[in-house]
């Protein structure tokens, strides 16, 4: 059986990174509901496990140096969030298979890490998305 919470983590990570990349370098709030969908707190005011996992993903990405934020809005958002320079650079870098392909600018553009993540989010399976995001997070390209 698949670890669904890990697949959710990779999906949330992809959505958060793309959201921030699309508005880079502007800072702004990233709301959990925009990433993981609507959530109604229970009668005690507690959010669902899914909501809290997405919020935890945002905090983890910051702890790992991929995004910065100035404050949190309850457990609903990170405010004034922006990609770090390191993360922006990694998202804007071609994967080795894209470099080997050479070719036109369109081929090189498709090989950018951010576009590979976008492609998997739009058309890939959850396994393909998980593998792509895992490679981005844990197997960054080597520097020259």
pLDDT tens sequence across 34-73: 999 999 888 998 999 999 999 999 999 999 999 999 999 9
Greatest extent of the chain over all pairs of C-alpha atoms, in Å: 58
pLDDT tens sequence across 86-108: 999 999 987 655 444 455 555 55
pTM: 0.88
* 3-class state of residue 124 by DSSP: coil
CB 28 within 8 A of CB 81: yes
Q: Please name the residues in contact with 36: beta carbons below 8 A apart, sequence gap of 6 or more.
A: 8, 12, 50, 51, 53, 54
């Amino acid at each position: 059986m698949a670890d669904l919470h890990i697949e959710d983590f990779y999906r949330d990570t992809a959505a958060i990174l793309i959201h921030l990349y699309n508005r880079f370098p502007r800072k702004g709030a990233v709301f959990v509901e925009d990433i993981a969908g609507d959530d109604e707190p229970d009668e005690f005011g507690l959010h669902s496990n899914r909501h809290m996992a997405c919020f935890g993903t945002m905090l983890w990405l910051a702890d790992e140096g991929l995004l910065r934020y100035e404050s949190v809005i309850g457990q609903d958002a990170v405010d004034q969030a922006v990609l770090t320079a390191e993360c922006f650079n990694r998202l804007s870098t071609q994967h080795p298979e894209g470099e080997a392909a050479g070719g036109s600018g369109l081929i090189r553009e498709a090989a950018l890490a951010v576009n590979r993540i976008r492609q998997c989010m739009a058309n890939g399976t959850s396994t393909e998305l998980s593998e792509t995001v895992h490679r981005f997070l844990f197997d960054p390209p080597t520097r020259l």
